[in-house]
Structure 1
Amino acid sequence: MGPKRIVCLTEEPTETLYALGEQDRIVGISGFTVRPTIARKEKPKVSAFTSAKIGEILKLQPDFVIGFSDIQADIAAELIRNGIEVWISNHRSVEGIFEYIRRLGALVGAGDRANAYADELRRGVDAIQAEAAKLPHRPKVYFEEWDSPQISGIRWVSELVQIAGGDDIYPERAVMPLARDRILADPSDVIGRAPDIIIGSWCGKKFRPEQVVARDGWNAIPAVRDGELHEIKSPIILQPGPAALTDGLEALKVIVRRWASRQD
């Protein structure tokens, strides 16, 4: 039961529906989708993140469109005006991701499978958190979503850093749901917070550590001094879906463990 022709405007519903074995319901996806790789081969790409091919979506005759966040509000409004049912999720936390998976599963009549999948993901997250609790040292971590202007990490990323064994230097900013509220008005503030690790995930473009090193005064930061500048690709950490809880968290774990191993 449930909707039979679904358009996914972001990656996380696509990845979730494939994981639940409900991929046949998907008739269109985001052009930024990279997980699972097969989706790019077999599903038409009809949207970016802030824009969509409304005409192409309507030709697909969807009975349900799934998007994410206020940034897609205009897309949603246009589709609604054309008589399409739209669900815009707006979760920003690790717990929100788990609940998102359960809700999406229930909407397509796969509630039991979604609950089992969410439980499986939680076991993986809990295992990493338990390992992290044994670390003798916890690094201070600066996570940067964008470089110009500099934007610190969103809430689920901050929480995953904590789960992996680090401490986000901007937890007070992480709770701000909108990117504009996480812009660093004074980038030199990072110097004073002295992160041990800097992680870049510049959404849609390659992280350039040499540009970070060249910032005025940043050579005094422990992470820069010690060469602890790392990239995590945005598709596995900045999508609030299964990828963040699996490959994204695993990447954070590896970075933190390597740092911790060098402290003794």
Structure 2
Amino acid sequence: MITSFPQRIISLVPSQTELLFDLGLAERVVGITKFCIHPAEFCRHMPKIGGTKHFHFDTIDGLQPDLILANKEENYKEGIEQLQQKYPVWMSDIYTLEDALHMISEVGKLTGTQSKALEISVQIQTAFAGLQAVSRKKVAYLIWRNPYMAAGSHTFIHDMMVRCGFENVFADHVRYPEITPEMLADANPDYIYLSSEPFPFSEKYIAEFKEICPESIIKIVDGEMFSWYGSRLRLSVPYFRQLLELLA
């Protein structure tokens, strides 16, 4: 049990690492993953405990955390269970904006930063309340190549798509289904969004998808805006507005 506010925090989740910084907790963070990149100057010099799905347990032991922040989807069960034998581990499980706001509130309570957490949550809620969705466009959101993988339902990405007014053409699939070129062609999306993460899609892949769906508009999108569920959500709505203006 956590009996006092933690002073040595490890974050195993990039979006939650950024949240800790924005809550004013930089001096209490002692370790992060190699995928934690925001804010850059802060993350560059922090001790790295491995990746989100492969922890360096000896490094973690050396850091002696009194709180570890993790996430059900982004981290791996066996590693988390091993850490739980030694340390307090707080797990988030996020599929919707409401889940994200609850996580921000809970991290604020855990760390004694409730007022700042509330401030961030209100900023996010206000921004999303003013988001004007466009008429429904059929969208396929790709996160991986070889094999192709898309965002289906019961994902945070899906919730962001719905809030933009998009129809997720793979909403009848749960989580992150593997899809074939034939499945993509049959879905006949108006837009194919190639996410910048976790696979680093770039402009060079557009022609590949144009061959599969000649009538679709293919666009590289910022994966952080669709999938990071911490304080970075304050930047998502302005990004979505720019995206939606191109569809108007």
TM range (shorter): 0.7 to 0.9
Q: Is the 8 A contact 2:143 2:149 kept in 1?
A: yes
Counterpart AA for 2:136: R
Q: Quote the Cα distance in structure 2 between the aligned partners of 1:87 and 1:22.
A: 16
Which sections of structure 2, spanning at least 5 residues, go unmatched?
A: none
Give the CA RMSD over aligned residues: 2.2
CA contact (8 A) 2:206 2:219 kept: no
Which residue does the alignment assign to 1:214? 208
1:21 to 12, 19, 24: 24
Q: 1:205 to 1:172 in 2, by over 3 A?
A: closer
Q: Go from structure 1 to structure 2 and tell me whether the alpha carbon gap of 1:258 and 1:216 turns closer, same or farther (over 3 Å shift).
A: closer
Question: Contact between 1:92 and 1:240, CA under 8 Å: does it hold in 2?
Answer: no
Partner of 1:157: 157
Number of aligned residues: 242
1:238 and 2:227 matched: yes
User: Aligned letter for 1:80?
Assistant: Q
Give the alignment of 1:1-264 within 5 angstroms: 1-70=4-73, 71-81=75-85, 83-128=86-131, 131-132=132-133, 135=134, 137-153=135-151, 155-173=155-173, 176-177=174-175, 179=176, 182-184=177-179, 186-201=180-195, 203-211=197-205, 213-214=207-208, 218-220=212-214, 222-223=215-216, 228-243=217-232, 245-260=233-248
| Structure 1 stretches lacking a partner, 5+ long | none
TM-score norm. by structure 2 comes to 0.87
What letter matches 2:230 in structure 1? Answer: G
User: After alignment, is 53-62 or 105-114 more displaced?
Assistant: 105-114
Q: CA deviation at 1:209?
A: 5.0
Deviations 1:137-178 (A, max 9, x none): 4321110111222221152212212222322222232xx34x
> CA offsets per residue over residues 211-230 of structure 1, 9 Å max, x none?
4543596244x32xxxx222
Could you state the TM-score of these two structures normalised by the residue count of structure 1? 0.82
CA distance in 2, matches of 1:187, 1:77: 38
Which structure's residues are more often helix, by fraction?
1
The answer to which of 206-215 and 149-158 deviates more is: 206-215
What's the CA shift string for 1:36-81, capped at 9, x where partnerless?
A: 1222134212121111111111111101111112542222122223
Please give the alpha-carbon distance, in whole angstroms, between the structure 1 residues aligned to 2:123 and 2:205.
39
Cα distance in structure 1, aligned partners of 2:192 and 2:240 = 11
Alpha carbons 1:12, 1:239 under 8 Å: kept: yes
